[in-house]
Structure 1
Amino acid sequence: MNVAHISKQHLVSQVLLRQFTMLGPKGSGWQLLPFDVWNPERRQKLKGPGACGTSKDFVAFDSASAEDLWGSVETRVPAALAAVKAGTPFADPLHVEVLRDLVVLHYVRSHRYRGVYTSAFETVRVNVRGELIRQYPEHVRREALRQTGLHLPGSGSLGSFAERLIEQSEATQDFGSGKLFRTSIENMLNKVRVMAAKWHLEVLTPESGQFLIGDNPAVTVRTDTTPFSYNMAFGDAHSIVLSIGPRHLLALGPENMVVSIPRAIVNEINTVQIHAADGYVYMHPRSDLETFARAKARQRQAARATR
C-alpha cells in the first residue's frame, strides 16, 4: 500500500514549540514569537506552533515511515515534560530515557545534519571522480566507447565521462531521490542514541530570564571558552543542549541533576541558539527576548561578513 508523502515536516517538535506559546487575540489560538535571524530588523508576527520549525521535504523518500520513527519518541514526551515541570524528572527512569532521546532526535533531525550529510556526499563524489581518472583511465575509455562509440582524446573528456558514470551509479541515484538520506538519518539516530546512553541528564532552570529555542535546537557545546563554542563533533563536546520550554533546558552531562543557572549562562545558551539557527529562533511572546535576539543576530551577521 502506498502511503502519501508528507511534505511539511517539523524539525522542532510541536510538543516543544507549544511550551513557548500563550493564548493570542480572540480566536487566534496558542501562539509564539518567531524571530528571523537573517532579517533582525523585520517586524516579527506571532504564529501558531504548527507554522513554525518546519522544513519542506526534509525527508523526501519514505517520509511516512520517518514520521513514525520520530513519533516513537515524541508520543512519549508529554508525560516526561510534565515530570520536569513537577520537579520530578528522575522519579521514573523511563522519563530520563525519553528526554535523552528527545535531545538525540533534535540533534540528528536538523538542518545542520542535513548540511553535513550533503557536504560529505559531495566530497566523496569528487574523490571517486579523481580515483576513476587516476587508477582506471582505460576502463573509463572502454566504457565511453561502449556507451557512446567515441574515443576519449584527453583528460578533460575523461573527467566528463567519469562524472557521467558517477551520475549513473546507484548511490547517486539514491542520493537524488532522498533514499540515501532516509537511510543515513535513521542510522545516525541509532548511532547517536547509543553514544548518548553513556551520558546522564541535567535539567537546567534560569535564576532569571527565559530560554528560547532555535530551528537547530539541539546543539553541541563546549563551555571552556567565552563565549561558548558550538557545533563541534559529538565526541568533542562537553554537552548537547536543548531548550524544552522558557523555564527548562536539557543538557547531557556526567550525572543526573536539576540545577538553577545564572542569567549570564542563560544568555550564553540563548546566544548559541541564535548563532546556530538555520533561519529562526522561537520565544514566548512575553519573554522580552526580542531585543536580545536582534542584537545577537546583528552580531552573527557582522561576524559572517568578515569571514
Structure 2
Amino acid sequence: MKAAHISKQHLVSQVLLRQFAMPGPKGSCWQLLPFDVWNPERRQKLKGPRACGAAKDFVPFDSASAEDLWGSVETRVPAALAAVHAGTPFADPRHVEVLRDLVVLHYVRSHRYRGVYTNAFETVSVKLRSKLIRQYPEQVRREALYQTGLHIPGSNSLGSFTERLIKQSETTQDFETGKLFRTSIENMFNKVRAMAAAKWHLEVLTPQSGQFLIGDNPAVTVRTDVTPFSYNMAVGDAHSMVLPIGPRHLLALGPKNVLGSIPRAVVDELNTVQILASDRYVYMHPRSGLEKFARAKSRQQQAERVNH
C-alpha cells in the first residue's frame, strides 16, 4: 500500500532544533526562540521544535519517498551527535559519514534549492519557446493547424501556441504536480552526497566564546577568503559548506578531519551568514543572548535592500 502524503515537512531536522531548545516552565515541552528576520521589531515568542523549521507540501508529490530518503540519514544522527558532545566524532567512521550527509541533506532540502530549481525550469522553458519559434516555425504551425484547425499568421500567435505546447508536455505537467521536483531533489541529494564524500572531510568546530544560531536554510556554502564571508555560491566554488548543529557545535566540510575551536569574530561571521542566507527565520537558544545580534543584522539587511 502506498504511504500517505506528508504535508508538514521539516526542512530543519527536529533533532537539530532540539539542540537549541531548553525545557519550558515547570518542565513543560522544550522550547527555542524563532526570530523573524523579515520583522525584526516583532516580539518573538518561544516555540517547540515541532512548530519550527517546517514547510507545507515542500515536496508536493510522493513525499513519502523523499521522507524515506531523509530518514535514512536522520535516524543515525543521534548517535553521531552523542559522539560530538563526547568529543569523539572521529572515533567511528560511520559518525563522520552521517554528519557529512547531514550537511548535504540540509543543503539540498532547502528553500534555497527549491528556488534554484524553479528558476532553472523557468529559464529552460523560455529558451525552449524561443528555440521552437526560431528553428521550427513551420512544424509549430502544422501542429497548431492539427490541434485547432487554424492557420497561425504572425509571430505573436506563434509564440502563444508554442507556450501552449510546452504546457501540454509531460515534463511541464510533472513540474506542475511536483513529481519533477521530487525526482530532482532526490537526485541532487545523491549527487552532492557523492561529491562531498569524494572532495571533503569533516570539521567539528566549537566557539571560544558565544553561541551559534541556525537558520531555516541552515547548510550554506561559504568562501572565507574575504570578510564578510561570501555565501550561497555553487558547491564547486565554495571553500566549505557549514551547518550549525547546536549552540556549541558547527559542522564544516573541509580538506581534513578537524576538531577545533574558532574565535568570537568567526562565530559572528558564521551567525551573520545564517541570518543573511535564511528564507525568513533563524532559531536560537532562549538564553543565548543572540536576539539583539539578529535584530541588528536583520535591520542592516533590510536597509541594504531598500538602498538597492
TM value normalised by structure 1 = 0.99
> 2:116 — aligned with what?
116
The one-letter code sitting in structure 1 at the alignment partner of 2:98 is V
Report Cα offsets for 1:244-300 as digits up to 9, x if no partner: 000000000111011111000000000000000001000000000000000001111
Whole-angstrom CA distance in 2 between matches of 1:65 and 1:170? 21
Number of equivalenced pairs: 307
Tell which deviates more after alignment, 18-27 or 131-140: 18-27
TM-superposed CA distance for 1:137, in Å, is: 0.5
> 2:259 — aligned with what?
258
Matched, 1:25 2:25: yes
TM-superposed CA distance for 1:3, in Å, is: 2.1
TM-superposed CA distance for 1:28, in Å, is: 3.7
Whole-angstrom CA distance in 2 between matches of 1:199 and 1:81? 19
TM-superposed CA distance for 1:2, in Å, is: 3.0
The one-letter code sitting in structure 2 at the alignment partner of 1:244 is I
Whole-angstrom CA distance in 2 between matches of 1:38 and 1:225? 26
Whole-angstrom CA distance in 2 between matches of 1:181 and 1:290? 35
> 1:36 — aligned with what?
36
Matched, 1:160 2:126: no
> 1:196 — aligned with what?
196
TM-superposed CA distance for 1:25, in Å, is: 1.7
TM-superposed CA distance for 1:27, in Å, is: 6.0
The one-letter code sitting in structure 2 at the alignment partner of 1:248 is H
1:1-307 matched pairs, under 5 angstroms = 1-26=1-26, 28-197=28-197, 198-307=199-308
Whole-angstrom CA distance in 2 between matches of 1:306 and 1:116? 25
The one-letter code sitting in structure 1 at the alignment partner of 2:130 is G
Whole-angstrom CA distance in 2 between matches of 1:304 and 1:236? 25
TM-superposed CA distance for 1:305, in Å, is: 1.8
Whole-angstrom CA distance in 1 between matches of 2:67 and 2:193? 17
The one-letter code sitting in structure 1 at the alignment partner of 2:285 is H
Report Cα offsets for 1:213-267 as digits up to 9, x if no partner: 0000000000011100000000000000000000000000111011111000000
Whole-angstrom CA distance in 1 between matches of 2:237 and 2:281? 26
TM-superposed CA distance for 1:306, in Å, is: 2.2
Whole-angstrom CA distance in 1 between matches of 2:26 and 2:39? 29
Structure 1 segments (4+ residues) deviating >4 Å: none
Whole-angstrom CA distance in 2 between matches of 1:306 and 1:275? 16
The one-letter code sitting in structure 2 at the alignment partner of 1:135 is Q
TM-superposed CA distance for 1:74, in Å, is: 0.1
TM value normalised by structure 2 = 0.99
Question: Which blocks of at least 5 consecutive residues in structure 1 are unaligned?
Answer: none
Whole-angstrom CA distance in 1 between matches of 2:240 and 2:31? 30
Structure 2 residue matching 1:2: 3-state secondary structure: coil
The one-letter code sitting in structure 2 at the alignment partner of 1:45 is K
